């Protein structure tokens, strides 16, 4: 069999299965879709495999209930966990999902001790912390998918407001993946032109708030589920940066070790993402107000972590 990178995706629900779809479409490698529910990963994996001749993509996809089949993975994307329902905050998911992610992390460490782990499960920043503690991996190899998704929503809302291409919008969202995230209009531009030259402050403030509410807006529409196209696309963008050693500068949730005056907490900050995982944490200049907002966001993550100890 041809030797390709190996990507394991834990959780065959909407996010996991869609991540497998994006990864196969991008020919990032061979894919193992894992879930505890018998038949679901096998069926979805086989369906995706049967799609590869149609779209002309060489990616071997299979589903399983056994972690043994994930052995030797280069990248593991963790989507397992309960989804939010209307009226449920991310924190409501905390204890149950920590148990689920902890079990996943132990299996990752056992079967793929050299893997880089991308955590998608919510509450995102806390689950990344759980994964790091349970695997024992260094911070470079545990990275949370949050900033890319939050920034994508922010960029999408700006594009919708201005009727311009999303490709020309450069933006950055820091902080925890939740209500206290920190969009940075000062670092936002369209075609190199600062956002403040395009929109009045009240419009910018409204877009910032919609970005913070981006996840629950979709939950409220769907009623029985949560977002999956954008989160899975964001996770696969991270996997691509790692597998192709692209050295992408992307906002990701990483365990800070003194950067921004914060330690032992996962929050979204810009990083360089390559074959070593998080190869560099970029510490950008922030105003005092922005720094305070980041500290507040990190404090919320700390509080959630404390609930698990």
177 is catalytic: yes
Among 21, 177, 300, 302, the one annotated catalytic: 177
- Sheet bearing 263-274, strands edge to edge: 61-64, 30-34, 6-10, 75-78, 116-119, 142-144, 248-257, 263-274, 277-281
- Packing angle of the helix pair 94-111, 288-307 (nearest 10 deg): 80
Which residue(s) pair with 252 in the sheet?
269
Which residue(s) pair with 265 in the sheet?
256
Which of helix, strand or coil describes residue 239? helix
**Is 25 exposed, middle or buried (CB count within 10 Å of its CB: 0-12, 13-18, 19+)?**
middle
Using the CB atoms, write b or e for 224-237: b if 16+ within 10 Å: eebbbebbbbbbbb
Contact between 272 and 280 under an 8 Å Cβ cutoff? The reply is yes
Distance CA 55, CA 77 (A): 23
Residues carrying an active site annotation = 177
């Amino acid at each position: 069999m041809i030797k390709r990178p190996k990507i394991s995706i834990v959780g065959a629900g909407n996010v996991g299965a869609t991540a497998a779809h994006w990864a196969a479409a991008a020919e990032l490698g061979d894919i193992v879709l894992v879930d505890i529910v018998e038949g679901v990963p096998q069926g979805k994996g086989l369906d995706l495999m049967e799609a590869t001749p149609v779209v002309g993509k060489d990616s071997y996809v299979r589903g399983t209930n056994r972690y043994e089949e994930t052995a030797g993975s280069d990248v593991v994307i963790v989507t397992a966990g309960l989804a939010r329902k209307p009226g449920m905050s991310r924190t409501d998911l905390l204890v149950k999902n920590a148990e689920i992610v902890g079990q996943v992390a132990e299996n990752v460490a056992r079967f793929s001790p050299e893997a880089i782990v991308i955590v998608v499960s919510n509450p995102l920043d806390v689950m990344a912390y759980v994964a790091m503690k349970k695997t024992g991996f260094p911070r470079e190899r545990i990275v949370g998918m949050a900033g890319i998704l939050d920034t994508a929503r922010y960029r999408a809302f700006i594009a919708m407001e201005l009727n311009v291409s999303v490709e020309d919008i450069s933006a950055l969202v820091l902080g925890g993946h939740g209500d206290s995230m920190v969009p940075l209009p000062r670092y936002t531009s369209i075609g190199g032109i600062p956002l403040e030259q395009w929109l009045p402050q009240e419009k910018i403030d409204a877009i910032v708030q919609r970005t913070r509410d981006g996840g629950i807006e979709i939950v409220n529409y769907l009623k029985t589920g949560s977002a999956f196209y954008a989160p899975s696309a964001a996770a696969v963008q991270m996997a691509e940066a790692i597998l192709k050693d692209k050295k992408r500068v992307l906002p990701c949730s990483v365990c800070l070790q003194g950067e921004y005056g914060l330690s032992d907490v996962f929050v979204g900050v810009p990083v360089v993402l390559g074959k070593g995982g998080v190869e560099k944490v970029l510490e950008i200049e922030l105003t005092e107000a922005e720094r305070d907002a980041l500290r507040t966001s990190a404090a919320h993550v700390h509080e959630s972590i404390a609930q698990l100890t």
